[in-house]
């Protein structure tokens, strides 16, 4: 009996045929920390412009150093996009680690898609960064510890920036002036710790000439959407191309002002240290652009207006930073000079920033009115609609002689 061959009517997508031939794991390799830090130093390893600013706390960096010292399994891999094609249509603009300076694109650059925080932690130790002056290896505790700012290392401690410095002479010179560390047994263990870190290997997963969209997708898959590159971060990072670093020129300044006065508790999460300052720009945007206040320009996270901010001229953006930071100073002075309670949430700060930005009248601000508002307004369990109404009433009072209670 003759068998007949069945006709296949299924159409297989051509992309599937291409994908089964693709195996990016063949590009994986291993590199030690010493080499990785050298490449960062020489700007071979860089960061794509869209990457957000550093978000790790000092303690998080200490935790990584201790894991590299004592962890029984390797740290997760670093993901790098190798730039072969440097044309603007392919390559994403690149910036340096830490200072985020724009760099000229060159073929062969390694752009970090995932791993910025881990690499920066090790690089800061490599260059003895000021940020790490208070991180030491405690020989008695057998681990790295944070000793606090303005605190000198004890006889059983050595700064991480000396121990892991790119220049081995730094360690030698330090030991000469610290006799408790100069004994043979101590020197021996310090050299072994240093050598372990220098030769600590990271797996490097590489791809070539990925588009910005492909890089972001890779990052988000790796982070399981837990550390997503938000539209806010991407939009603001791109301002760097126009000479504006929103982090160093604005958000860091905003956060530091609040920290200096003991108001840091208003940030409920690390990520809000970027979002809350940005939504505080809404009032400055409306004033500078001369647009009437819109309800959906309330200074809260759901109303952040990155596209609007980025649409302004560079000079206008810088002016919005100034208006907002000047208003923040007035808010802090107002709270402290009137012995008011430390705000329990950022709304008190951002709403009052809006008031002071909108207040363009020559007559003096009615502080008693603001004191009454501050002590009686209730944001707890308020919906976004209710908060927008509270803000609209407050800013209207700043631009008119109307009383808040009559609105």
**Is residue 141 located within the same domain as residue 236?**
no
Looking at 225, 258, 273, the residue that finishes a domain is 225
**Is residue 169 located within the same domain as residue 274?**
no
User: How far is it, in rounded angstroms, from Cα 55 to Cα 299?
Assistant: 22
**Is residue 152 located within the same domain as residue 287?**
no
**Is residue 138 located within the same domain as residue 46?**
yes
User: Against a cut of 0.75, is the pTM above it?
Assistant: no
- DSSP for 95-129, please give it: E-TTT--EE---TTEEEEEE-HHHHHHHHHHHTT-
**Is residue 197 located within the same domain as residue 306?**
no
Looking at 180, 206, 225, the residue that finishes a domain is 225
What are the CA-CA distances from residue 250 to residues 45, 54, 307, 317, 344 (Å)? 26, 15, 17, 10, 23
**Total structural domains in the chain?**
2
User: How far is it, in rounded angstroms, from Cα 65 to Cα 121?
Assistant: 8
In this structure, are residues 285 and 261 in contact, taking their beta carbons and an 8 Å threshold? Answer: no
Can you give the pLDDT of all 407 residues of the chain as single tens digits?
555 556 667 888 888 888 888 787 778 899 999 999 999 999 999 998 877 777 788 999 999 999 999 999 999 999 999 999 887 666 788 999 988 888 999 999 999 988 999 999 999 999 999 999 999 999 999 999 999 888 899 999 999 999 999 999 999 999 999 999 989 999 999 999 999 999 999 999 999 988 877 877 777 666 654 444 455 666 676 777 777 888 889 988 999 999 999 988 887 665 567 788 999 999 999 999 999 899 999 999 889 888 888 889 989 999 999 999 999 999 999 999 999 999 988 999 999 999 999 987 777 888 999 999 999 999 988 899 999 999 999 988 888 765 555 54
Rounded to the nearest 10 degrees, the angle between the axes of helix 367-376 and helix 314-337 is 80
Looking at 225, 259, 286, the residue that finishes a domain is 225
User: How far is it, in rounded angstroms, from Cα 52 to Cα 100?
Assistant: 10
**Is residue 367 located within the same domain as residue 384?**
yes
Domain of residue 198 covers 22-225
**Is residue 261 located within the same domain as residue 141?**
no
**Is residue 134 located within the same domain as residue 54?**
yes
Q: Evaluate whether residue 389 is within a structural domain.
A: yes
**Is residue 241 located within the same domain as residue 385?**
yes
């Amino acid at each position: 009996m003759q068998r007949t061959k069945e006709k296949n009517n299924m159409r297989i997508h051509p992309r599937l045929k291409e994908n089964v031939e693709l195996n990016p794991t063949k590009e994986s390799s291993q590199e030690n920390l010493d080499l990785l830090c050298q490449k960062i130093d020489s700007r071979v390893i860089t960061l794509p412009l869209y990457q957000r600013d550093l978000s790790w706390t000092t303690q998080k960096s200490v935790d990584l150093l201790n894991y590299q010292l004592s962890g029984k399994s390797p740290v997760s891999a670093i993901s790098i996009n190798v730039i072969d094609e440097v044309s603007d249509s392919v390559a994403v603009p690149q910036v340096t680690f830490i200072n985020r300076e724009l760099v000229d694109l060159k073929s062969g650059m390694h752009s970090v898609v995932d791993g910025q925080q881990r690499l920066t932690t090790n690089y800061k130790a490599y260059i003895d960064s000021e940020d790490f002056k208070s991180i030491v290896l405690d020989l008695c505790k057998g681990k790295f510890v944070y000793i606090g700012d303005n605190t000198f290392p004890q006889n059983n401690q050595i700064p991480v920036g000396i121990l892991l410095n790119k220049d081995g002479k730094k360690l030698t010179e330090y030991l000469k002036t610290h006799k408790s560390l100069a004994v043979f047994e101590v020197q021996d263990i310090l050299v072994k710790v240093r050598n372990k870190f220098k030769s600590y290997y990271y797996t490097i997963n590489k791809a070539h000439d990925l588009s910005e969209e492909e890089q972001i997708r890779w990052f988000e898959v790796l982070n399981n959407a837990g550390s997503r590159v938000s539209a806010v971060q991407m939009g603001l990072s791109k301002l760097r191309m126009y000479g504006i670093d929103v982090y160093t020129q604005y958000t860091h300044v905003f956060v530091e002002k609040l920290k200096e006065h003991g108001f840091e508790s208003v940030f409920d999460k690390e990520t809000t240290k970027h979002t809350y300052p940005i939504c505080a720009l809404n009032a400055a945007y409306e004033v500078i652009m001369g647009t009437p206040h819109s309800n959906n320009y309330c200074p809260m996270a759901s109303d952040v207006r990155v596209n609007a901010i980025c649409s302004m001229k560079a000079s206008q953006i810088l002016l919005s930073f100034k208006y907002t930071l000047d208003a923040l100073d007035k808010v802090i002075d107002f709270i402290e000079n009137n012995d008011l309670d430390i705000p329990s949430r950022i709304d008190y700060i951002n709403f009052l920033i809006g008031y002071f930005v909108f207040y363009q009248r020559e007559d003096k601000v009615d502080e008693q009115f603001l004191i009454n508002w501050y002590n009686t307004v209730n944001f707890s369990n308020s919906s976004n609609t209710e908060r927008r109404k509270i803000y609209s009433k407050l800013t209207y009072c700043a631009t008119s002689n109307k009383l808040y209670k009559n609105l």
